[in-house]
With several copies, the nearest count.
Chain A
Amino acid sequence: MDDLYREIIIERNRSPLYKGTLEPHDITFEDENPLCGDVIRIDLRIDENDKVTEALFSGHGCAISQASADLLVESIIGKGVDEIKALTKADILDLLGIELGAVRLKCALLSLKVLKAGIYGLNEASDSLVEDA
């Protein structure tokens, strides 16, 4: 088996567990990586304690972007908004279990960028949301 395409990436790309949209939702955000055409949208429902109760992603793109979105969404259900704000590049790479070059990193981080832009209520997602401090 290929190091970069671990079973879980192939699997979650082919059959994502958290794909879809939520209507109504409390938060939704969509962005794309124009370089490769990856598009990710994430919808969230959030309870009165600022915890994520439900989450789904939609969109299309490469295996890395799709699998990372699926794994990220899975990981945040039940988490508080503050915990989500604290998520970093390293957390995504942990979920994927691989290392990535600069270009692919953008694919992997698109979902986190979208998630954070949504949580922070921004108009536009910026790379600085997922950059190392």
Chain B
Amino acid sequence: MGITISNNPQRQDFPILSRKISDNVSLVYLDSAATSQKPNQVISAMDAYYRNNNANIHRGIHVLAEEATAEYERAREKIANFIGVKNVKQIVFTKNTTESINLVAYSWGRKNLKTSDHIILTEMEHHSNLVPWYILAEELGFQIDFVPFDREGMLDIDQYQRLLENKPKLVAFTHMSNVFGTINPVGEMVKLAHAAGAVALVDGAQSIPHFPVNVSELNIDFLAFSGHKMCGPTGIGVLYGKIELLDSMPPFLGGGDMIKKVRLGSFKPNEVPYKFEAGTPPIAEVIGLGAAVDYLETIGMKNVFRHEQELTAYGFDGLSKIQGVSVIGPAVDKRGGVLSFVMEGVHPHDVSQVLDQDGVAVRAGHHCAMPLHEKLGIPASTRASLYLYNDKSDLDKLFFAVERVKSIFG
């Protein structure tokens, strides 16, 4: 596909990108790590579903119900295929990454973790991969050990190995940091976890949208990600789990569709993945995510990644050249398309506000990673994050706006 950093034909697929923020100001969207924009292909897939095929799934014997069910299950196959999973029963639909991780905590965790146990998290986790474990630890009393990151924002793998000597039951870490952009060595970390007898959960919220991930090759036990960060709709998340784990787990949410049989006072759970899909699922959203996967595959995830790598290098370079600006996290070859920075003497909220006046949408704050910021000794940072629809001109506008921040607060 003809996707280059200065000429990006994919832009036209995203209607919002032609939006004006005010009279003469166009939108420059650099907030894709928070949520991505959606291409026409995804918006219209959901639109078409509601206009032509909308019905509740799985139990209906009429044309609409059969069509809706077929589309829903077809999307499951697409998503399985997208992450290198053969057995589609290993794909469970949730509402977001957060629910996916909570599902593992409530179902797998409550069954398998005890007071005397250890689990391992890292200091660079998103709150979604911290708080579910804190809640559980409060209930069950196990200990949480944290893998530290170094000055560059890289995980300390030596320390990880030492922590593995505690024989943790679970290791849960992010594939890519949503603040530093660090891409963690998942394959190696999973292998080490398995060698220590731990189950490995990977938070793929920032990786699955941005580069090719083969879950089977990486031998991941649980993987969580969200549709809305990968050109898909809000309201849909995915949990991949190895079949033997999912099979052995008790149900999480109880209700329609997750049962085989219900009596007064007792029930028999359904097979996976339905066991974990209680109630009417986000049907249109699953179909929308299927369309997003089609869209990404047409471009090719390798191309998406290469494009973002080039842009990241350009952005890293440009920001670093501005005096008073420091980009946090590792060198460009170790990171994905996330550029968080601090500016001397200017609070990230003020940076982001001035940028907004130039139409440049970035995020300012702790990006749901307070422990990371606390360790850095900063309350917040400003984050520009990239996706396939960005190009050099977006970053040029960012540089220009950052200069303007300096002139206002200088």
Contacts and interface: CB of A to CB of B under 8 A. Distances in A.
Direct contact of A and B (CB under 8 A): yes
Interface of A: 2-5, 10, 34-38, 61-64, 101-104, 107, 127
A70 to B, nearest CB: 15
B77 to A, nearest CB: 13
Given A36-B348, A63-B409, A64-B350, A2 B357 contact: yes
A107 B347 CA distance: 11
B349 A107 contact: yes
Given A35-B365, A35-B366, 10 more contacts: A2-B408, A5-B350, A35-B59, A36-B380, A37-B373, A61-B347, A63-B409, A64-B349, A101-B66, A103-B59
Contacts of B70: 102
Contact of A103 (B61, B347, B354, B357): B61
B350 A102 contact: no
A107 B59 CA distance: 12
A36 B364 contact: yes
B116 to A, nearest CB: 33
Interface of B: 58-61, 65-66, 69-70, 260-261, 268, 271, 346-350, 353-354, 357, 364-366, 370, 373, 378-380, 408-409
Contacts of B380: 36-37
Contacts of A64: 349-350, 353
Contacts of B261: 34
B261 to A, nearest CB: 5
B350 A2 contact: no
A5 to B, nearest CB: 6
Residue in A35, A38, A102, A103 whose Cβ sees the most chain B Cβ within 10 Å: A103
B354 A2 contact: yes
A34 B364 CA distance: 13
A55 B319 CA distance: 41
Given A34-B260, A103-B66, A127-B271, A62 B350 contact: yes
B139 to A, nearest CB: 24
Nearest to B69: A102
Given A62-B349, A63-B347, A102-B66, A36 B379 contact: yes
Contacts of B366: 35-37
Contacts of A36: 347-349, 364-366, 379-380
Contacts of A35: 59, 365-366
A38 B69 CA distance: 21
13 contacts: A2-B357, A10-B408, A34-B268, A36-B349, A36-B364, A36-B366, A36-B379, A37-B366, A63-B346, A63-B350, A63-B409, A103-B66, A104-B61
Nearest to B260: A34
Contacts of A104: 61, 349, 353
A3 to B, nearest CB: 8
A85 to B, nearest CB: 22
B357 A34 contact: no
A92 B409 CA distance: 22
Contacts of B66: 101-103
Contacts of A107: 349
A118 to B, nearest CB: 20
Which 5 interchain pairs have the tightest Cβ spacing? A37-B379, A62-B347, A62-B349, A101-B66, A34-B261
